[in-house]
Amino acid sequence: MSVGFHQRDCCPLCESTSNRILCEIPYQDQRLATFIEQFYQGRVPLEQLASANYRVVACANCEFIYQDPVLNEDAMQELYRNWIDNQLSLQKKQTAKSKLYRQYTAQVGTLSRIIDKRPDQIRVLDFGMGWGYWSRMAQAHGLNVVGYELSAQRVEHARKMGVTVIDDLAVVVDDFDFIYANQVFEHLSNPVQTMQALCQCLKPTGFIYIRVPDGRDVARDLAQRGWTQDLDAIHPLEHINCFTRKTLIELGARAGLKPFSPPLRLSWDGLWGGIRREIADRWFTTHVFFSRQE
Ligand SMILES: [Zn+2]
């Protein structure tokens, strides 16, 4: 196993080789090293990062913000298997507040409204399902859901909770009515390739929901105050792709998808909050429903 870095040859979104540097800090830098040491509780061998810089660039062509270099394949495996605190990650889900479940319920409610089928006839893929809590919620609403996840530990946990997990998407063609990918695409080395692969699994009438951290203020914040550890959308090592709504929609376009606005869901109860949410969801946020139709 060789833990190291991998240079991205071009913009992961549009393949342009022209970019401008928004931030460049050696991993040895005291402030960055201390953050990594504390965040991963000493599990990251800092000497293996020492030769590289944490570098965030913006594509000169499509404005996509991304980290370059990124960890190589072996190091990525180490990161997600051993450097991240998996117990803490599970505990966060196990002790989540009711707000998270209300959010899941709203998402499942939306998908049930936009797909005009009986719940058991709706085939759903939870892509990068993590510990399986969203899948479980979708199951509770009667949906026919399967999960996909690289981490063996998470797969085992999800299976114990009764979630069906598949391990090969390459054999699945035109199968799913809905694909859900929450907080996945910011981590991927080849986001366009993955989006295209998901499209292969989607029925022609299906929908894909992508949710990623919101990077709309990142370039401005880096210019004004430099890197700070609260810039979650460019979290060192992990959030290697930083999307705005515009670049997220561009990601969909690269796979032949267009953004889709689910029907309005306003009610008199909490009308003002509902209007604000609808406006944000349609024009500003980095969570988007995609379909192949207009
Ligand atoms: Zn680009």
**Domain residue limits at 154:** 98-211+257-291
Half-sphere exposure of residue 266: CA atoms within 13 angstroms, side-chain side: 12
Q: Is the pTM of this model over 0.95?
A: no
What is the residue type of 270?
G
How close is the Cα of 239 to the center of ligand 1, in Å? 17
Question: Are 270 and 181 in a shared domain?
Answer: yes
How close is the Cα of 177 to the center of ligand 1, in Å? 30
Question: Are 204 and 116 in a shared domain?
Answer: yes
Helix, strand, coil share (%) of the chain residues, nearest 5: 40, 20, 40
Half-sphere exposure of residue 47: CA atoms within 13 angstroms, side-chain side: 0
What is the residue type of 257?
L
Q: Identify the sign of the CA torsion 104, 106, 107, 108.
A: positive
Question: Are 275 and 134 in a shared domain?
Answer: yes
Question: Are 53 and 187 in a shared domain?
Answer: no
Question: Are 46 and 144 in a shared domain?
Answer: no
Question: Are 155 and 276 in a shared domain?
Answer: yes
Q: What's the pLDDT tens digit per position in 14-58?
A: 999 999 999 999 999 999 999 999 999 999 999 999 889 999 999
Angle, to 10 degrees, between the axis of helix 191-201 and the axis of helix 245-253?
A: 60
Question: Are 149 and 274 in a shared domain?
Answer: yes
CATH assignment of the domain containing 177: 3.40.50.150
Question: Are 180 and 274 in a shared domain?
Answer: yes
Question: Are 41 and 64 in a shared domain?
Answer: yes
Question: Are 164 and 68 in a shared domain?
Answer: no
pLDDT at 294: 55
pLDDT at 172: 85
| Model confidence at 182: pLDDT above 80 | yes
Structural domain includes residue 80: yes
How close is the Cα of 12 to the center of ligand 1, in Å? 7
Question: Are 237 and 282 in a shared domain?
Answer: no
How close is the Cα of 117 to the center of ligand 1, in Å? 38
How close is the Cα of 294 to the center of ligand 1, in Å? 24
How close is the Cα of 13 to the center of ligand 1, in Å? 5
